[in-house]
Amino acid sequence: MGDNYDVVIIGGGATGTGIVRDLAMRGLSCLLVEKEDLATGTSGRFHGLLHSGARYAVRDPHSAQECVQENRILKEIAANCLEDTGGYFIALKEDDPEYIRVWLEACRQVGVATEEISPSELLKQEPVLHKDVTKAYLVPDAAVDGFTLAAANALSAEKLGAKVKNYTRVVGFKREGQRITGVFLRNAITGQEWEVNCRLVINAAGAWAGQIGELAGVNLNIIPDKGVLIVFNHRITGKVLNRLRPPGDGDIFVPHGSVTIFGTTSRATHDPQDNQATREDVLQLLAEGRKMIPDLEEMRLIRAFAGVRPLYQASDQEGTGRQATRDFSLLDHEKLDGLNGFISVVGGKLTTYRLMAQAASDLAAQKLGNDKPCLTHLEPLANLGIERDKDKKHLCQCEMISKGMLEKAVKGKEQFSLSDIRRLTRLGMGPCQGTFCTYRAAGFYHELKNLTAQEGNKLLKEHVQERWKGARPVLWGGQAQEIEINRGIYLSLLNLDRLDSGDYV
Amino acid sequence: MYDVIVMGAGLAGLMAAAAAAELNKKVLVVAKGRGNLYSASGYIDFLGYYPTDCRQPLENVVEALEDMVNDNPQHPYALLGKEKVDQAFDFFLKIMNRAGYSYSGSWKKNRIYPTAAGALAPTSLVPQRSCLDLASYQEILVVGFREMLDFYPFYAADNLREQFYQQGEKKLIRAAWLDLGLSKERELNSYDLAVALEDEAVRFRLAEQLRVKVSENTLVILPAVLGIRKWARVQGDLERMLACTFLEIPTLPPSVTGMRLAESLMEYLEQRGVEFQLGYPVTGALQEGKKCTGIKIETASGRVQVKRAQSYVLATGGILGGGLKVKPGGITEEIFQIKIEMLQEMSNQDFFAPQGQPLSRTGIRVNGLLQPVGAQGEPLLTNVFAAGKNLTGYDPFVEKSGNGVALVSGCAAGWLAGKGAL
């Protein structure tokens, strides 16, 4: 009954895809299942900052040290998924000068390279910054793309024979006494169900790890913590910008492709699916960000989104929100709960995903009697092969995406949405937020993939709706005008609302 | 000194200028740029769906208009009434005829035309060239151009086939790509292609590629690219060469059909003596009590010019055209500093919600004379008349009424401003 694997990994975020790559490199047969598309959870819903470690140096030196190491490794093995922008930490007049001294010392201790830059030199390079910068330091921060990072890890594993299944939900576990022996799966689109057998299951479901634990009958104290981020339609600064003060809300700007991501907030939530930002969140962020960039409110916002941090607490005594550790935990449920064949890896952050994957894979390999060492830090990730080509006819002009790139992005995909394509290519992520390219991409794929009219309409409507979700909390200024143009095109000009698309939402 | 100054050069502004000029008034049109017509379809949609959650286009528009007057007294059509609607549409048909770019149709009856996605959509007036009965063609060929990324013939054809099938009509609907070999360097838009097709050699290439695919019974549906100023020549030529019928579909911006309407209308207005000052924004107004006594225009040198008239038409395009500015704390009309009521919730979760979006419905409250009014209904300005997308009370995108409201309220504002200037 069903296929057999050594390991089934649950969760297609950075951690899960990191694990499947790690285990595949050790020669184990693996299946990764993800209920939506890769990196649709927290790995695709964060500021896109590859930490240098500087942010955590004072309060969480262990975590900071891990960041220092992983920052160096990822710049080597995942160069295609990141942009090595460098970063600044800037202190303003109102910030505590004593904290700067403590921070510098902590950075030195954990090994973060800092280099002082004079406020006048800084303002020459980044003229939008507030004139009252008192101190500024350069650190090796970078911008990282969580979507392509997860996809590249998954592809590396697939090249070694691993199976990666998106839109596949775990609906139950097969058990023999106190041992998990397999999983029951369901295709999230077709509803088709099947089962697979395995020797070990790794729960890497991030914010959803508690729900997976529940299915297996173990209790995990995951504290979902919501962080809101907003996106501006241009690169405000050339490098990552951090506020030099104890970590708080609204103190990180990350230049990403053609846009800037700014965040975050930290608020407890009950639902890992809670990824809607509100207007209040946005206004609060702007009020804070204005202190570093005075003209911030004049700049055009194009969307807001939220991600849920899967913070983990071993006991109820530890802190929540900003106080909770950014460290990760590896849970061996055989020892904790007497349940064999099931381990969870929880907490952590994207910068240290590889290290989390290594720890989980070490434990898995040991349990399965595999003595191969981890090699993930030595070999570069597989190339996704969707890089820019020579075609100068751009279907998405904001992000300069050609038909050829769209064709490569959909290769081997049976079921896909334009959002899946967007995550791989940045289609529709630029200033126009899909106003022009959504229609073009739907028309293009309709023909390429031999879709029915209804399927083409669904592709188009779903993506219009998805972009709308992000625009709603920022409906003012240029974005309010853009949305009116968008409605004019999709409703008046195309009459899309009257076209049949099945049940698209 | 002018009789009437019109702010805005979209359909509402141009119609206001035309109406005032028809009363022999001295008219100046000022606008920060070319109006929204350049990105609009060039079709005049009066009212496509009412109530807006119905799936089928309106059959009895006259009756629906009566319902709307009862249900929503703030709707521009309700404020102005059926008589003004009739007058405005008649006037439009008359002046477009004079302008040499005739339109056909009536607001009372919806005609059905395909959109660029292949949806069958209701509209009221179309350029005379495009006036045909879709139902009478059994054989349709949808054509796209390889160099242009804004039209997908196979997608449009599939949707058309599907809808005709639902209606029980069997038609032969095919699709084809043509390649005019125009540009390998970059994607072309409909404007680029329309310019290229004004060249006889390019036109000939198109005809050669189509010749094998069509017969005289074929309706060729293609994006609107058949010439800009020389459209009559381009279309006439092709119909002679191929002996089939062509139907152009309005495209994503830039819109060639919208451009033809805007340019023929502006040319006509210039002949009637209307002056234009385009390219500079109106930055503010001079006011004495409830009377506007002048408007300020910032020129390229940064100098502020003051222009004066007896009456003014405010047709600056609402949020869409930039006449209304939305800020996190409120919405303001920028020239006269009119505060607009801002709702707690400006949007619905569903982009496609049939009731529309509060954002799109937002605008200036006016009375039956199109004067901006305050909370108690009192006029804020007596010689300023607002029109088009600046007005509140309707969501053009779900009703399919955008150009209709612009036309009717633009005409009315022009008449009111012109008469006030007597």
Residues A240, A94 share a domain: yes
Does any CB of chain B come closer than 8 Å to the CB of residue A496? yes
Domain assignment of residue A66, yes or no: no
Quote the DSSP letter at residue A259: E
Flag if A492 and B161 touch (Cβ within 8 Å).
Answer: no
Q: CB-CB: which of B186, B326, B398 is closest to A393?
A: B186
* Chain B closest-CA separation from residue A161 CA (Å): 37
Residue A332 scores a pLDDT above 90: yes
Calpha distance A331→A204 (Å, rounded): 11
Q: What is the pLDDT of residue A393?
A: 86
Q: Look up residue B103 and give its two tokens.
A: 């339109």
Task: Examine residue B409 and state whether it is found in any structural domain, yes or no.
Answer: yes
Which amino acid is located at B187 in the chain? Answer: E
pLDDT at site B422: 41
- Both B164 and B30 in one domain: the answer is no
Identify whether B215 is part of a domain: yes
Same domain for B128 and B226, yes or no, is yes
Does a cis peptide bond (omega within 30 degrees of 0) precede residue B254? yes
Kindly indicate the confidence band of residue A212, based on its pLDDT and cuts at 50, 70 and 90.
very high
Q: Give the number of other CB atoms < 10 A from CB of residue A21.
A: 31
Do residues A261 and A294 share a domain? yes
- From A390, which residue of chain B is nearest by alpha-carbon distance? B185
CA distance A198 to A88: 47
Mark whether A135 and A249 lie in a shared domain: yes
User: Residue A473: pLDDT band by 50, 70, 90 thresholds?
Assistant: very high
Coil/strand/helix, residue A396:
strand
Q: Assign A415 a pLDDT band (cuts: 50, 70, 90).
A: confident
User: Do A297 and A161 reside in the same domain of the chain?
Assistant: no
Domain membership flag for residue A386? no
For residue B194, give Cα distances in angstroms to B35, B167, B182, B205, B211: 20, 34, 12, 14, 20
Residues A300 and A446 both lie in one domain: no
Give per-residue pLDDT as tens, A255-270.
998 899 999 999 989 8
- Residues B117, A460: C-beta atoms closer than 8 Å: yes
Q: Are residues B292 and B352 in the same domain?
A: yes
- Say which CATH number the domain at B137 has: 3.40.50
Nearest CA in chain B to A402: B187
- Between the CA of residue A435 and those of A429, A464, B45, B389, what are the distances in Å? 10, 8, 22, 20
Question: Which residues of chain B make contact with A446, given a CB cutoff of 8 A?
Answer: 152, 154-155, 158
Q: Do A489 and B357 touch (CB under 8 A)?
A: no
Residues B302 and B408 in one domain: yes
pLDDT at B43: 96
pLDDT band at A505 (very low <50, low <70, confident <90, very high): very low
Do A440 and B150 count as a contact with CB atoms less than 8 A apart? yes
Q: Do B359 and A443 touch (CB under 8 A)?
A: no
Asked if A495 lies within 8 A of B396 by C-beta distance, the reply is: no
The reply to whether B124 and B235 lie within a common domain is yes
If asked whether residues B290 and B346 sit together in one domain, one would say yes
CATH number (domain holding residue A214): 3.50.50.60
Give yes or no for A424 touching B (CB within 8 A). no
> Is residue B254 in some structural domain?
no
**Domain assignment present for A503:** no
pLDDT string in tens for chain B (422-residue length):
999 999 999 999 999 999 999 999 999 999 998 878 888 889 999 999 999 999 899 999 999 999 999 999 999 999 999 999 999 999 999 999 999 999 999 999 999 999 999 999 999 999 999 999 999 999 999 999 999 999 999 999 999 999 999 999 989 999 999 999 997 788 899 999 999 999 999 999 999 999 999 998 999 999 999 999 999 999 999 999 999 999 999 999 999 999 999 999 999 999 999 999 999 999 999 999 999 999 999 888 889 999 999 999 999 999 999 999 999 889 999 999 999 988 888 999 999 999 999 999 999 999 999 999 999 999 999 999 999 999 999 999 999 999 999 999 999 999 999 998 44
| Domain closes at, from A310, A345, A378 | A310
Interface confidence, given as ipTM, is 0.96
Supply the pLDDT for residue A387: 81
Task: Assess whether pLDDT exceeds 70 at residue A362.
Answer: yes
Task: Answer whether residue A186 shows pLDDT above 80.
Answer: yes
- pLDDT at residue A397, as a whole number: 86
Say which of B152, B185, B351 has its CB closest to residue A464: B351
| Nearest-CB residue to B252 (from A439, A464, A497) | A439
Q: Considering only alpha carbons, which residue of chain B is nearest residue A394?
A: B187
Domain count, chain B: 2
Q: Does residue B11 sit within a domain? A: yes
Lookup: tokens for A113: 């390279």
Residue A380 has pLDDT above 80, yes or no: yes
Domain of A233: which CATH number? Answer: 3.30.9.10
Confirm whether A385 is domain-assigned. no
pTM confidence score: 0.93
**Domain containing residue B242:** 116-249
Q: Per-residue pLDDT averaged across A132-142, rounded? A: 97
Position B110 in a domain:
no
Same structural domain for residues A131 and A233?
Answer: yes
- Which residues of chain B are within 8 Å of residue A461 when distances are taken between CB atoms? 352
pLDDT in tens, A432-467: 889 999 999 999 999 999 999 999 999 999 999 999
Same domain, A360 and A411: no
Please indicate, yes or no, if residue A372 is contained in any of the structural domains.
no
Q: How far apart are CA A263 and CA A282, in angstroms?
A: 9
Same domain for B272 and B415? yes
Q: Judge whether A343 and A331 are in contact, CB under 8 Å.
A: yes
Residue B111 lies in a domain: no
**Burial of A61 per CB tally in 10 Å (0-12, 13-18, 19+):** middle
B272 and B371: one domain? yes
Q: Residue A138 is part of which domain span?
A: 82-143+223-310
Considering the domain boundaries, does residue A86 fall inside one?
A: yes
In chain A, the number of structural domains is: 3
User: Cβ of A477 and B119 within 8 Å?
Assistant: no
Task: Let me know if residue A389 belongs to a domain.
Answer: no
Contacts of A297 in chain B (CB under 8 A): 328
Does A232 share its domain with A293? Answer: yes
B37 domain-assigned: yes
Do both A280 and A410 map to the same domain? no
| pLDDT level of residue A475 (50, 70, 90 thresholds) | very high
- Which of A457, A488, A494 is opposite residue B116, by nearest beta carbon? A494
Report yes or no on A392 lying in a domain: no
| Model pLDDT, residue A325 | 65
Residue A323 is predicted with a pLDDT of: 63
User: Which pLDDT belongs to residue A503?
Assistant: 63
Specify the pLDDT at position A257. Answer: 86
* CB-nearest partner of B117 from A469, A472, A496: A496
Which of A:439-478 have CB within 8 Å of B? 439-440, 442-444, 446-447, 452-454, 456-457, 460-461, 464-465, 468-469, 472, 475-477
Band of the pLDDT at A1, cuts 50, 70, 90?
low
> What pLDDT, on a 0 to 100 scale, did the predictor assign at position A504?
46
Name the residue among B116, B154, B327 with its Cβ closest to that of A493.
Answer: B116
Q: Least CA distance to B255: which residue of chain A?
A: A493
Size of interface A-B (CB pairs under 8 A): 146
Interface test with A, best of B41, B351, B359, B389 (most A CBs within 10 A): B351
Distance from CA of B208 to the nearest CA of A (A): 25
Whole-angstrom distance, CA of residue B69 vs CA of residue B74: 8
Question: Do A343 and A306 share a structural domain?
Answer: no
Shared domain for A330 and A306, answered yes or no, is no
Same domain, B301 and B205: no
Looking at residue A100, what is its pLDDT? 96
The residue of A460, A494, A500 whose CB has the most chain B CBs within 10 angstroms, and thus the best one to mutate to test that interface, is: A494
B322 within some domain: yes
What's residue A281's pLDDT? 93
- A483 to chain B, any CB pair closer than 8 A? The answer is yes
State whether A232 and A138 are in the same domain: yes
B88 and B133: one domain?
Answer: no
Query: Within this chain, do residues B220 and B294 fall inside the same structural domain, yes or no?
Result: no
Residue B152 with chain A: CB contacts under 8 Å? 440, 442-444, 446-447
Residue B279 near residue B273 (C-beta atoms within 8 A): no
B239 shares its domain with B146: yes
What's residue A320's pLDDT? 60
Q: How confident is the model at residue A207 (pLDDT cuts 50, 70, 90)?
A: very high
Whole-number pLDDT of residue B351:
97
- How far does A43 lie from chain B, in Å, by closest CA? 24
